[in-house]
Structure 1
């Protein structure tokens, strides 16, 4: 299955010296190295008909290699299921948000890991560990009784 996340599309487009790309408000904008806006690809587009091609001739802006590269990049992105395009959410688990006031230290503030065995689990406190949404879902499915606790402790991590 083809899979390309939005940030990966932007990163790959920006590797090419003739173009640049930005992700803004649900649209990936592609610019020529001159700064001219050429193409807008909505992040929820499913085919080339939904891509906004500005009134330009790509042949005037790009080499044949870049046109082929960009076309293949857009095609791969459009083939990716929409729900797979978005970056995976990441979280820290804040066990004791008032740990500094209560104990004078942050040592018990975060869950560093969740130890899981056949018949039990335990939260190990320590430094802030980043958990993916997928990992937390697996833990919640294995131990549904702690799902409310995990949901209550989630603190979204951005750009790490």
Structure 2
């Protein structure tokens, strides 16, 4: 389970609210208006021993919501740390002679004796590459690595 999924699950309850702050998943009763958190889960924790709880702040949390929170925390513990965080996604932007008219990479084609970048003026036609895909391309074509790193523009979750 990814951290952002955990937040969505917990925030789908009636009496618990979660947010990530300073590397911790913090769970409050109701909402973030007060500092009445009842659970702090370090996002890189591997066991229950790393979790800090404050049972005094559980007075208004419904039992079914607490059960949901505990289930989500267990799923996070069962997920390897490196898989808890969403993978970054990128567009590749090739800025030609005119920096006000960027060109977007819509595809990269590598063959035995060829290398082709398909470009588009329209950002919507740009291919969105995962970090893993770009790393695979850089491994196959090491001479492209500096160019790919220079062209990367991170895509936010609400853009893809």
Report if aligned partners of 2:28, 2:37 keep a CA contact under 8 Å in 1: yes
Residues 1:32 and 2:29 aligned together: yes
Distance in 1 (alpha carbons) for counterparts of 2:112 and 2:15: 55
Distance in 1 (alpha carbons) for counterparts of 2:98 and 2:80: 42
Equivalent of 2:152 in 137, 151, 154? 154
Tell me the residue number matched to 1:116: 110
Q: Which runs of 5+ in 1 are unaligned?
A: none
Query: Kindly tell me: are residues 16 and 97 of structure 1, through their superposed partners in 2, closer, same or farther at Cα, counting changes over 3 Å?
Result: farther
- TM-score, L = length of structure 1: 0.82
Distance in 2 (alpha carbons) for counterparts of 1:143 and 1:98: 25
1:69-124: CA deviation from partner (whole Å, max 9, x where unpaired):
211110000111111111111112121165345xxxx2x52212212334422111
Distance in 2 (alpha carbons) for counterparts of 1:28 and 1:56: 18
2:146 aligns to what SS in structure 1? helix
Distance in 2 (alpha carbons) for counterparts of 1:11 and 1:117: 42
**4+ residue segments displaced more than 6 Å:** none
C-alpha displacement at 1:137, in angstroms? 1.4
Tell me the residue number matched to 2:46: 46
1:49 aligns to what SS in structure 2? helix
Report if aligned partners of 2:17, 2:29 keep a CA contact under 8 Å in 1: yes
Distance in 1 (alpha carbons) for counterparts of 2:49 and 2:103: 50
